[in-house]
Structure 1
Amino acid sequence: MKSIKRTGIVLLLLFINYKCICQDTSKVEFKTFLAPSIQGNKGDEDPNRRLTIYLPPGYEKSKTRYPVIYFLHGFAIDDKDMFEWIGFKNLIDSAIKAGQLRPLILVMPNSMTKYYGSFYTNSSVAGNWADFIGKDAVEYMDKNYRTIPHRNSRGLAGHSMGGNGALKIAMLFADKFSAVYAMSPGALHLSEEFRLAHPSFKKVTEQKNMDSLRTAVPYFDFDKFPFFEMIYASLCRMYSPNINDPLLQADQPIKYIKDKMIVNTTVLKKWEANFPINMIDDHVEELKSLTALKIDWGRNEEFKHIPRTNMEFSKKLEALGIKHFAEEYIGDHGNMLDGFEGRIFTELLPFFEKYLSK
Structure 2
Amino acid sequence: MKPFLLCLFVFLSLGRLSAQNPQKGKLIIEKFLAPSLQGNHAGEDPMRRITIYLPPGYEESKQRYPVIYFLHGGMDVLGDSIVMAWWRLHELMDAAILKGHIHPMILVLPNSDAKLGAGFYTNSTLTGNWSDYIGKDVVAYIDKRYRTIANRNSRGLSGHSMGGNGALKIGMLYPEVFGTVYAHSPANLGWAAEFSLNASFFKGMDSYRNQYSIAEIQDDLFKRGDGTKFYMKAMANLARAYSPDEAGKTFLSAKMPVSYSGDRMMVDEETKRKWEANFPINMIESHLPGLKSLNALKLDWGRNEEARNVPIASLEFSKKLEVNQVKHFAEEYLGGHINKIGGYDGRIYTEMLPFFDTYLKFESKEPEAVR
- Partner secondary structure for residue 30 of structure 1: strand
* Stretch deviating more after TM superposition (148-157 or 206-215): 206-215
Equivalent position of 2:109 in the other structure: 108
Equivalent position of 1:281 in the other structure: 285
Equivalent position of 1:57 in the other structure: 56
**Alpha-carbon distance in 2 for matches of 1:224, 1:85:** 21
Task: Kindly indicate whether residue 273 of structure 2 is the aligned counterpart of residue 269 of structure 1.
Answer: yes
Q: Is the 8 A contact 1:301 1:331 kept in 2?
A: yes
- Partner secondary structure for residue 253 of structure 2: coil
Equivalent position of 1:13 in the other structure: none
Q: Is the 8 A contact 1:69 1:155 kept in 2?
A: yes
* Identity value in percent: 51
**Alpha-carbon distance in 1 for matches of 2:72, 2:299:** 16
Task: Kindly indicate whether residue 237 of structure 2 is the aligned counterpart of residue 238 of structure 1.
Answer: no
**Alpha-carbon distance in 1 for matches of 2:152, 2:219:** 40
- Partner secondary structure for residue 317 of structure 1: helix
- Partner secondary structure for residue 248 of structure 1: helix
Equivalent position of 2:256 in the other structure: 252
Q: 1:82 offset after TM fit, Å?
A: 1.0
Matches within 5 A, 1:132-281: 132-207=133-208, 208=211, 209-216=213-220, 219=223, 221=224, 223=226, 226-244=229-247, 245-281=249-285
Q: 1:259 offset after TM fit, Å?
A: 1.5
Q: Is the 8 A contact 1:217 1:224 kept in 2?
A: no
- Partner secondary structure for residue 262 of structure 1: strand
**Alpha-carbon distance in 2 for matches of 1:323, 1:256:** 43
Equivalent position of 2:329 in the other structure: 325
CA displacement, residues 310-349 of structure 1 (integer Å, 9 cap, x when unaligned) = 1100000000100000000011101101110111100000
Equivalent position of 2:297 in the other structure: 293
Counterpart of 2:206, as a letter, is T
Q: 1:176 offset after TM fit, Å?
A: 0.3
Task: Kindly indicate whether residue 347 of structure 2 is the aligned counterpart of residue 343 of structure 1.
Answer: yes
Q: Is the 8 A contact 2:70 2:163 kept in 1?
A: yes
**Alpha-carbon distance in 2 for matches of 1:311, 1:200:** 24
- Partner secondary structure for residue 99 of structure 1: coil
Q: Is the 8 A contact 1:214 1:230 kept in 2?
A: no
Extract unaligned runs of 5+ from structure 1.
Answer: 1-19
Counterpart of 1:309, as a letter, is A
Equivalent position of 1:10 in the other structure: none
Counterpart of 2:327, as a letter, is K
**Alpha-carbon distance in 1 for matches of 2:194, 2:64:** 45
Q: 1:218 offset after TM fit, Å?
A: 7.1
Change beyond 3 A, Cα 1:126–1:116: same
**Alpha-carbon distance in 2 for matches of 1:307, 1:26:** 35
**Alpha-carbon distance in 1 for matches of 2:301, 2:273:** 27
Task: Kindly indicate whether residue 48 of structure 2 is the aligned counterpart of residue 45 of structure 1.
Answer: no
Q: Is the 8 A contact 2:117 2:222 kept in 1?
A: no
Q: 1:216 offset after TM fit, Å?
A: 2.9
Q: Is the 8 A contact 1:217 1:225 kept in 2?
A: no
Counterpart of 1:247, as a letter, is F
Equivalent position of 1:3 in the other structure: none
- Partner secondary structure for residue 140 of structure 2: helix
Task: Kindly indicate whether residue 320 of structure 2 is the aligned counterpart of residue 316 of structure 1.
Answer: yes
Q: 1:191 offset after TM fit, Å?
A: 1.2
Change beyond 3 A, Cα 1:333–1:302: same
**Alpha-carbon distance in 2 for matches of 1:60, 1:189:** 44
Counterpart of 2:357, as a letter, is E
CA RMSD across the alignment: 1.6
Q: Is the 8 A contact 2:244 2:254 kept in 1?
A: yes
Q: Is the 8 A contact 2:222 2:233 kept in 1?
A: no
**Alpha-carbon distance in 2 for matches of 1:142, 1:170:** 18
Q: Is the 8 A contact 1:118 1:129 kept in 2?
A: yes
**Alpha-carbon distance in 2 for matches of 1:224, 1:205:** 17
Paired positions, count: 338
CA displacement, residues 164-213 of structure 1 (integer Å, 9 cap, x when unaligned) = 00000010000000110000101000111011222222222221334323
The counterpart of 1:353, out of the listed 352, 357, 361, is: 357
Q: Is the 8 A contact 2:70 2:108 kept in 1?
A: yes
**Alpha-carbon distance in 2 for matches of 1:149, 1:347:** 24
Counterpart of 1:292, as a letter, is A
Counterpart of 2:164, as a letter, is G
The counterpart of 2:311, out of the listed 307, 312, 315, is: 307
Q: Is the 8 A contact 2:201 2:228 kept in 1?
A: no
**Alpha-carbon distance in 1 for matches of 2:295, 2:355:** 11
CA displacement, residues 211-231 of structure 1 (integer Å, 9 cap, x when unaligned) = 323233775x45578211110
CA displacement, residues 105-147 of structure 1 (integer Å, 9 cap, x when unaligned) = 0001100111211110000010000000000000000011111
